[in-house]
Amino acid sequence: MARKIKLTLPSDEKIKSALVATTGTLLRAQKSPDEALGELFADVQKSRVYDDGMTFMQLIPRKRSQQIKKEYAVEKKDPNFDLREFVNRHFYSFEHKPSEYYSNSDHTAREHIEELWSVLERKSRRDRGSLIALPNPYVVPGGRFSEQFYWDSYFIMLGLAADKRWGTIEGMMKNYAHMIRKFGFIPTANRTYFLSRSQPPFFSHMVRLLARHNGRRRTYLEYLPYMLAEYRFWVKGRRSVTTHIDTRAFARVVQMPNGVNLNRYFDNKTTPRPEMMWDDLETAKRAQLHDTDKLYLDLRAGAESGWDFSSRWFADPMEISSIHTTDIVPVDLNCLLYHLETTIAETYRLMFQPLLARKFQTLAERRASTMLKYMWSEEEQFFMDYDFRKAKSTASVTLAGVYPLFVKVATPKQAQAVADRIEKDFLKKGGLVTTLIDNGQQWDSPNGWAPLHWVVIQGLREYGHYALADKIKSAWIQTCSGVFDRERKMVEKYDVTSESGLGGGGEYELQDGFGWTNGVMAALLDEKD
C-alpha cells in the first residue's frame, strides 16, 4: 500500500522553501557571468586565470557587475595591473561544506555511500552569483559539480531510494517542478550559464521512481503538468520544421524521411560555452572555420547530451573539431522521449481521458516505429544514431544503442543481437567501455560510467538476458569497490581496462564524490538475488 511522504523540514525551513517556491518563479534570473561581466569575463577565461574554466563561473561578485566592469576598465590600463589580484579582490567563493572530508577507514563501500548523502546535500535558497535558488535541499554529484544536475539526479535518486531517503527525492522533484514553472524546462543545472540547454530527459523516469513510494495515481497526476511542459520544450518548433529555412530541422526537432518528427540535442546559443571558453576557442582554432557559430552550437549540443565529449558526435572519431552533434538524431534521446510519451499516456488513462491517452500513445508508437526503421543497423546488428544530413547511420557503435532495450522498444531478435555485441565488444574485465574508440575523450574507451551500466543492466533484464546482466553487474561492482578499497572514495568515471580503475580524459580532472556512482552502486548492491 502506498504511503504518503512529507518533506521532514523544521517549520522555519518549510517557510523558507515556500518563499522560494512562490517568489522565485516571479523573479527573473540573473544574467550569466559572461553576459554580465563582458570583457572582464572574456579576459579571465582566455588568460586561464584558473585552470578549470568553471571556477570563475562559480565565484560570487562582491559588488554589482556594472560597478566591477567600470573599475576594471580603469584599472587594467595600469602597467602593473594584476588580473588575478583584481578577481580575488572583487569575487569570493561560497562553500556549502568544509573542503576536507575523510571517509571512515572502517566503512564498507556501501556504508560510505550512505554516509556521503549528507556530505553531498546542499541548500541554496537565495541566488548567489550564477547559482539559482531552489526551494528544497538537493544532492549534488560532487567535485567541481555543486549544483542539482539534471540527468545525474535520476541515478542519484536510485541510491536515495535504496536508503529510503524519499523526502530528499521528493524535494529534488519539487525543485524540478519549480524550475519548469520558472524557465519552462529543466536546465542542465541550477546555474544561469546553463539556461540555454537541458540534459537527457529522465524526468518521467524520476516520476515513476517516486511513484514506487508515493503511489502511481497520486504521483503521475501531480507531475503531469510538468511532464507536459517538459514534452513541449523538446518538441517546440515541430510545426516550423517544413517552413523553416532548414526544412529538415528546427531547434530540437528533426523531420525524418517518413515524415515523423524525432529529436536531437541542441542549444539556444551559438557562442563558446562560458564555463569552458578557452577550450572551445582552441577547438575553433583547430577547426580553422570562417564561421564558428555551427561549431559552438555543436559543442553546446554535445554538452546537452551529457556525453561531453565523445567520438559519437565527431565526423573524425579522433578529432573534436569535427563535431557535428546537431546533424545527428540520437537513439538515447528519442528512447527517453518515447518513455515520456508513454508515461503521459498512462497518466491520462488513470484520469479516464481515453482520447488524450490515445494521442500520446500514438505519438510514442510512431516514434518507436521510426526509431526501428532508421536506427537499427542490419550491418552492425546494433542500434545506431542517425545522421539526417547524410540520411544514414553514423559510424559510431556506442552504449547509447542499448537504450531501446531499456525502454522496451526493441524486438527480441534485436535484443539478442545487442546482447551478443555487448558481450563480444564492450564487456571488459572491469565493466563496459562506453564506445569502441580510444581517443582521449571521457565518453569513449577505456572509460566506463555508472549511468550507462545501469541502463545496460536493466535493458538486458527486460529481455531475459539475466546471466549477462549479472556478469556486467559483478564486474562493475568489483571495479568500484576495488577503487574504493585503495582510494577510500567513489569517482565520476572508471577505466574498466586497467588495474587502477581510475578514469581519465576529457576537459577536466577526475572528480571525486560521486553522485551517480554512489546511486547506482547502492541500488545494485541492495538488489535481492
- On whether the CB atoms of residues 393 and 386 are closer than 8 A, the answer is yes
308 is catalytic: yes
3 state SS of 491:
strand
* Residue 406: its H or E element: helix 403-406
* Amino acid code (one letter) for 520: V
Grid cell of 51 as nine digits: 585552470
Q: Indicate which residue of 275, 280, 298, 308 is catalytic.
A: 308
222 is catalytic: no
Catalytic-labelled residue, pool 147, 298, 332, 492: 492
Grid cell at residue 93: 567563493
Cell numbers that stand for 122 in this block: 546542499
DSSP string, 32-51: PHHHHHTHHHHHHHHTTSSS
The Cα 251–Cα 198 span in angstroms is: 13
Q: Which cell numbers in the block locate residue 225?
A: 503538468
Grid cell for residue 120: 553531498
Residue 444 φ then ψ, to 5°: -140, 175
Cβ atoms < 10 Å from Cβ of 281: 15
DSSP annotation string for 247-270: TTEETTEEE-TTS-EEE----S--
Cα angle 157, 265, 152 (rounded to 5 degrees) comes to 15
Q: Which amino acid is at 399?
A: L
* The three three-digit cell numbers of residue 371, written as one number: 526509431
Q: How far apart are CA 522 and CA 516, in angstroms?
A: 10
Candidates 329, 330, 332, 358; CA nearest to 344 is 358
Residue 315's alpha-carbon distances to 279, 305, 318, in angstroms, are: 19, 17, 9
- The cell for 470 is 549479472
| CA-based radius of gyration for the chain | 23
Cα angle value 66/71/73 (rounded, 5°): 95
Q: Is 171 within 8 Å of 160 (Cβ atoms)?
A: no
- Measured in residues, the chain has a length of 529
Can you tell me the distance from the alpha carbon of 413 to that of 205, in angstroms, rounded to the nearest whole number?
26
CA torsion through residues 480, 486, 488, 494, sign = negative
Active site residues: 308, 492
